[in-house]
Chain A
């Protein structure tokens, strides 16, 4: 394929999904039921009238529910050209029958359409009785319907992603994650935050929410590692409609919170800066990612940083 390079991930996904659907869907799910049929004793003129009346281009010929032939517009043209439109259907119908089973998968029908020169396939049940008729158009419509259903299911999933624990009923559902963060432990810096982010994704949070939580809690984690006397704790509570994150330590407290919130302000040492931290953007980043941020701090009892993200009001 020459235009393969310009195929986007999304298109590629759709194509494979269509292929998959071909293997998933049964012919019975896409075929036309209520089939117009001819009897072998009818005249070709009667068949022509039925074709015009129902706006179809052909129909199977049945006897006691079993298919004995098929008549297409081509057969009618032959009869007209011969001047024998009053002859019986059985004289002009095509008896070279190609059929498929209702329980077969749609790909089976696609293979037949690709190999044989037929426009419609009579569909039979396990007793070889006619139960439907299948054209390429039926397949296209069936696949489009199925894709549409997929899309709606995806929408439902997306809706659910903004409401964790959707199926669990209780007066108050929540999951609490706790991590001890050790002072100066740069080696593991960010590990807890990555665990938290992963947990959220597993619970079905959408990527944006997981990313915002991850960034906020990562900055808080690094502050515990860098700026505290003895490290501290991260506590994350996940509820159906909100995520509350808390970072707390026992000192030394923040002297001037106003200043600490100024972009670029940092008391980090040269050594810490060489590790890529101390840009003075941590608290600023946190504030940008969460819906609510509160800092309680004192020299005596240390610093408590509270961060909340609400799941049902997306922040951009």
Chain B
């Protein structure tokens, strides 16, 4: 799905006008804990989060995320946006919550890119 399409479905506003929007979004992940993101997001996903600080951008870069949507009306500051712009990572903000955005995107056909975690690892 196109970045602009994902943002439109999420009722979001693009906050990084000059970054490259051509890369396809393959799936979605939502969460607020950065270790969870690193543990289970597959590459090339949109990250939907209620957390709003520069670590979100750094985590996203490590995890090969292709778009960040800050949910529930959180507005990222200049520092966050500048970091993302430097790295050519698009950022959007949406008034909707995580559940609502995830639901809309799933309904529009964007699959979950959250890997299942084993509740009882053997080793």
Which residues of A does B touch, CB under 8 Å?
9, 186-187, 189-191, 193-194, 197, 207, 211, 214-215, 218-219, 222, 263, 275-277, 279-282, 284-285, 288
Contact = CB atoms under 8 A, between A and B. Distances in A.
Given A186-B53, A197-B62, A215-B62, A277 B34 contact: yes
A260 to B, nearest CB: 13
Contacts, number: 76
Nearest to B36: A279
Contact of B39 (A190, A214, A276, A288): A288
A215 B64 CA distance: 10
A263 B32 CA distance: 17
Given A9-B24, A218-B38, A279-B34, A190 B53 contact: no
Contacts of A194: 58, 61-62
A276 B53 contact: yes
Contacts of B33: 276-277, 279, 281
A-B pairs with lowest CB-CB distance, top 7: A190-B58, A281-B35, A279-B35, A279-B33, A214-B62, A276-B51, A276-B34
Contacts of A191: 58
- B interface SS class: helix
Interface in B32-47: 32-36, 38-39, 43
11 contacts: A189-B55, A190-B54, A191-B58, A211-B62, A263-B121, A276-B34, A276-B49, A277-B35, A279-B33, A280-B35, A285-B39
Contacts of A197: 61-62
Q: How large is the interface on B (under 10, 10 to 19, 20 to 34, 35 or more residues)?
A: 20 to 34
A281 B51 CA distance: 17
A191 B83 CA distance: 10
B63 interface: yes
Interface in B75-123: 79, 121
A187 B80 CA distance: 10
B64 A218 contact: no
Contacts of B61: 190, 194, 197, 214
B9 to A, nearest CB: 17
Contacts of A281: 33, 35-36, 38-39
